[in-house]
A and B are shown apart, each in its own frame.
Chain A
Amino acid sequence: MTDKKGNLPNEANALSRAFREFVLEADAKDLEEAIVAMGEDSKQLAESSRAIAVEALKRNEMRVGVENQERVEAEALHEGLSALIQLLRRREGMSEEDLAKRARVDVEEIRRIEVDRSYTPSPRTIYQLEQVFRLPSRTLVLLSGAKKRTRPDFTNEVMRFAANAKTMGKLNSAEMKLLNEFVNFLSSQERDMDKE
């Protein structure tokens, strides 16, 4: 068996495909008659496939929803971390370079933490920053995404903080209050999770 061009096709696969084409191209009436001729209920057959499609669609929706939710939360936490580090740095009157030097981390990492919402700092950097800013232990861990267990309202609180934080100049009294309240909030979250 050769095709019009005289080449040798993969006979078996070509034959199988041609066979299936008769189903794929069949009009609805012929297909229905063929199914009924085999003693089958054509509606039932369609329903079996439809049920499978519905289940696949439902699971896909759930998967997409979960992925979106996780991404939203991760980015919110990063934004909170970024805002917090900037405020803490400004509270201490430090430049990014000063902070990098004191924390003994690369200045590029400090910059990335402050501007890149998708960036996840290393555990060592998190620890060093907590030391430099004299924060309670593991306060920043919650914002780094390294720890998954958080309360349902945690992300909302982080987003609220990040939205209210300002980034220019020395901290005013309102920003200082905001900062202190947020640090206390993070500390209390960590303490509460330890008790659970």
Chain B
Amino acid sequence: MSMKKQPCSHLEVGGGKLDDEYASPEEVTEAIRTLTDADHQKLMVIARYWHRQRYGPLEQRVEPEEILFEAITITLNCDRRWRKEKVSIVKHLDRVMESLSGHILEKRMAEARAKDEMESQMERTEHEQRYLRSSVEDQVVARQQMEMIQALFADDDVALQVLCGRAVEKTAAEIREELGLSKTEYATVTRRILRAFVKHAKIREGNDHD
């Protein structure tokens, strides 16, 4: 009796282009297995970044290892499908961590509030209020991110300008021309940005300052 179930069988997508766009469970597994050392370093640095980026009491922040584990797990079980033709697995996991870090925090905060929950007209209003609060919280988080980045490069205007250029999807060539940078100078700036990121992500709770 041959009935080995495909692990993502809850995704019964018809054949054709839509299927090809997304990685199969086997492709995801293989991609995770074959991550290089550099890939793993990137993932850990990114996970640390997300640990720091979510506001709220330190005890409610999610550990970087937890974020990374969850991102890999839900990619493996196809709850977040990897568009293999469009992004690398590392970039995909970054996006998943971005999404997760907010959700995990919200879930923990909701669990803390959930003890008093009851179904009622008044509670629906409360739910609406929570929804609004979470929208406001998103705004606050986004603003915090921007201010953090700007503060990191307060003494490095060129790096900040390069970063802002990339944020509006300018190419490296366009940015170099705009800022009058040679290729070598541009490469030097990108390395400064990289170091700033790694340094920022490294700082852990207890030493939670820049």
Q: Residue of A at shortest CB range from B197?
A: A23
With beta carbons under 8 angstroms apart, the residue of A15, A16, A46 that contacts B44 is: A46
Write out the residue numbers on chain A whose beta carbons fall within 8 Å of the beta carbon of B83: none
Q: Do the beta carbons of A49 and B163 come within 8 Å of each other?
A: no
Q: Once the chains are docked, how many angstroms separate the CA of A21 from the CA of B45? A: 12
Asked if A146 is an interface residue, CB under 8 A from chain B, the answer is: no
B90 touches A19 (CB 8 A): no
Binds A, one of B28-36, B103-111, B122-130: B28-36
Contacts of B141-175 to chain A: CB distance below 8 A: 142-146, 149, 163-164, 166-170
B145 pairs with A34, CB closer than 8 A? no
Q: Is the CB of A48 within 8 A of B65?
A: yes
Residues on B with beta carbons closer than 8 Å to the beta carbon of A34: 191, 194-195, 197-198
A2-B194 CB under 8 A given contacts A32-B41, A40-B202, A45-B40: no
Q: How many residues of B contact A (CB 8 A)?
A: 55
Instruction: State A32–B161 Cα separation when bound (angstroms).
Output: 25
Please indicate the chain A residues that have their CB under 8 angstroms from the CB of B142 in the complex: 10, 12-13, 16
Cβ of A196 < 8 Å from any Cβ of B? no
**Residue interface bits A1-42, CB-to-B below 8 A is 1, else 0:** 111100001111111111111111011101111110110101
- Decide yes or no whether A148 CB sits under 8 A from chain B: no
7 A-B pairs with CB atoms under 8 Å apart are A9-B167, A15-B167, A20-B46, A32-B38, A49-B68, A68-B4, A75-B3
Additional A-B contacts beyond A15-B149, A53-B32 (8; CB < 8 A): A14-B167, A22-B194, A24-B91, A27-B38, A28-B37, A45-B41, A50-B40, A52-B69
A residues whose Cβ falls under 8 Å from a Cβ of B: 1-4, 9-24, 26-28, 30-35, 37-38, 40, 42-43, 45-50, 52-53, 55-57, 59-60, 63-64, 67-68, 71-72, 75-76, 159
